[in-house]
Amino acid sequence: MHRYVEVTTRIASDPKSDMDQLQTVARESALRQWQYDISQFRAQKQHLTGMSTLALVKTRAGADAREWKLRYCLDVSGTDLVDANGKSVRGKGPKRVTSDMVVVQDGADGNWYVTEDKVTGTC
């Protein structure tokens, strides 16, 4: 989970980074969402600054031993979305959000990947 946040934040922070690196931590809807969001940032000459922090709230087993469902609180107060001139373009939304995440272990490589990451409220 921490690696997922670190990798997605790093890629969203560096407009020249390789978005294919998202595939090292995410798949399915989580991967598609990050690809879309970062593509939008880049098209609008925006990027993220700072780093988010997170705290695990709840875990439960998924459909089998290779799936876990996590709820976490993501604090983005230490980040900002800025334009090419460094001016903040972030809206007035919440700085702490609760997200529900599904992580699945790949049977071929044994690594864990986030397949779903959905904001469900504030924390």
First-to-final CA distance of the chain: 18
Alpha-carbon distance 82 to 23, whole Å? Answer: 25
| Length of the chain in terms of residues written | 123
Instruction: Please report the pLDDT score of residue 1 as a whole number.
Output: 75
Q: Tens digit of pLDDT for each residue in 9-62?
A: 999 999 999 999 999 999 999 999 999 999 999 999 999 999 989 999 999 999
The highest-level CATH class for domain 2-122 is alpha beta
Any residues with CB less than 8 A from the CB of 92 and at least 6 apart, and which? none
